[in-house]
Structure 1
Amino acid sequence: MFSPVSPVRAYERVVEQIEEAILSGRLEPGARLPSERDLMTQFGVSRSTVREALRVLQSNGMIQSRAGDPRGPEILPPSSSSLQKSMSRLARASSMSLAELLQFRMLLEGSAYQLAARLRTASQLAEMEAALLEMTSAVDVGYAEFSAADVAFHDAVARATQNSLIVVCSNVVRGVVVDLITDRLAHATDRTALMQAYLKHHSEVLQAIRDGDGALASRLSRHALHDSYAEFLPEPDRALLLPLLDP
């Protein structure tokens, strides 16, 4: 009828209560937690337990604690950094295949381009155009400079969705995918041709975003990702990407 339970350490209960107070708004950004001594009294725990709880909360990006500060740890505003760390660990887990990551990236970026085409502002469009110009210039400079401009383009598209979760997820998944195959890209036989192909794709998708054609921008994005990365997958895994390609 019942399953075994894991023992809960005292510091975890302290973390839970402080997290709940932050998430519910009872502790707002900029507010200060009581001193370690006061926390020991309120929670009825030892100093080491309080310090471990504060270490966890700081690691999670919820508080900032400075040694010797008499005002107590400061409550930080919400941030996507902790989510990004968690997603990075999950995406890099050995149990997750490159095919799954590519499939998710195709879904995510296809949706991002569709939203960007409909929601982008004039200044966000200008950011994409500037990044594309940098990519064009970087073809004759080097692959590292080209890749940096490419990242700037994708970041501008993600921001144009007006959705911070898409920004975080896009950064994580794109980074992990590139890391997994970076050696093969670095030793491509004709990197100039590769950069030219990427540049052609980005020019086409930027035009679709200018025109407000979200469906076309999404389709171009998904096909480009498939064409760029499917060759790095084992043959049976490539079938996982096919349902995301339009006829």
Structure 2
Amino acid sequence: MIPLRDALFRPVRAGNAFEETVERLLQSIRLGVVPPGERLPAERDLAGRLGVSRVTLREAIRSLQDAGYVESRRGRYGGTFVTAVPPAAAPGRPPVAADLPDALTLRAVLETGAAECAASRPLGAAERRDLRARLDDCASAPLAEYRRKDSRLHLAIAEAAGSTSLTAAIADARTRVNALLDRIPLLPPNLAHSNEQHARIVAHILDGDAESARRAMAEHLDGTASLLRGFLA
């Protein structure tokens, strides 16, 4: 399994190094890759992964610290940690109904393909444990943490497909979809149904049934798409 952090903390483009560094760090926080209370990778390691200078990285971290997303701790076990309660997103242009078709089509193509690819690969014991752990985390998540745990499960499936580029693309697509999902209510009956669908998807992947994994993922995404169209279109 290709580590998700490798997909998100990939080299940025030189022209907008600071801005893209901030974007990557925020994406890792919002998608739950580095959850509340957890430490970011060490500065030297993170700068190397992102392909930026440590000065640029420090400026980005300082900006996120000022905005309330991270905090620095000193001492032997110090470092930069995601705050326990990240701030609400800054106001901006809300997603509109016109964003729906593009975002949903992209997600459907990427995530059904990822499920099929994951089921087609000979997964190792660690990969299987990770998928089961993410599935359990999502099923037991309290309402306030459901979006983050759900994102991590979908990203774990992307990781299991074995392509850094695909995982990065799904992370970007998921960020767009989450912006839309944040505008509709969490409905307990839907979450219970989603968890049942998640279990089927993971079971098909672990069984190596690629076609069934693709179909199960498509059905799951269709349900989410129906809610989004119903509330936002």
Equivalent residues of 1:127, 1:156 under 8 A apart: yes
Residues 185 and 229 from structure 1, CA distance in 2 versus in 1: closer, same or farther, beyond 3 angstroms? farther
1:148 matched residue in structure 2: 148
Q: Does 1:102 align with 2:67?
A: no
TM-score between the two structures when normalised by the length of structure 2: 0.57
1:110-164 residue CA offsets vs partner (Å, 9 max, x unmatched): 00000111223221121110111122222xxx22223222222112111111101
C-alpha separation in 2, matches of 1:122 and 1:143: 30
Is the partner of 1:97 in helix, strand or coil? helix
Residues 134 and 95 from structure 1, CA distance in 2 versus in 1: closer, same or farther, beyond 3 angstroms? closer
2:55 matched residue in structure 1: 66
2:192 matched residue in structure 1: 196
C-alpha separation in 2, matches of 1:151 and 1:56: 27
The code of the aligned residue for 2:55 comes to: R
From 110, 123, 126, give the equivalent of 2:126.
123
Alignment of 1:1-247 (within 5 A): 56=16, 62-64=51-53, 66=55, 97-119=99-121, 120-138=123-141, 142-186=142-186, 191-233=187-229
The code of the aligned residue for 1:224 comes to: H
1:184-224 residue CA offsets vs partner (Å, 9 max, x unmatched): 134xxxx2212111110011111101110011101111121
1:6 matched residue in structure 2: none
Q: How many residues were matched structurally?
A: 153
Greater length-normalized contact order (CA 8 Å, ≥ 6 residues apart): 2
Identity of aligned residues (%): 21
How far the C-alpha of 1:96 sits from its partner, in A, is: 6.3
Runs of 4+ in 1 over 6 A off after TM superposition: 92-96
The code of the aligned residue for 2:131 comes to: M
TM-score between the two structures when normalised by the length of structure 1: 0.54
The code of the aligned residue for 2:205 comes to: I
User: CA RMSD, aligned part only?
Assistant: 3.0
Equivalent residues of 1:134, 1:146 under 8 A apart: no
Structure 1 unaligned blocks of 5 or more: 1-28, 30-53, 68-91, 238-247
Structure 2 unaligned blocks of 5 or more: 1-10, 21-49, 57-93
Equivalent residues of 1:117, 1:209 under 8 A apart: yes
Equivalent residues of 2:117, 2:161 under 8 A apart: yes
The code of the aligned residue for 2:124 comes to: T
C-alpha separation in 2, matches of 1:127 and 1:210: 11
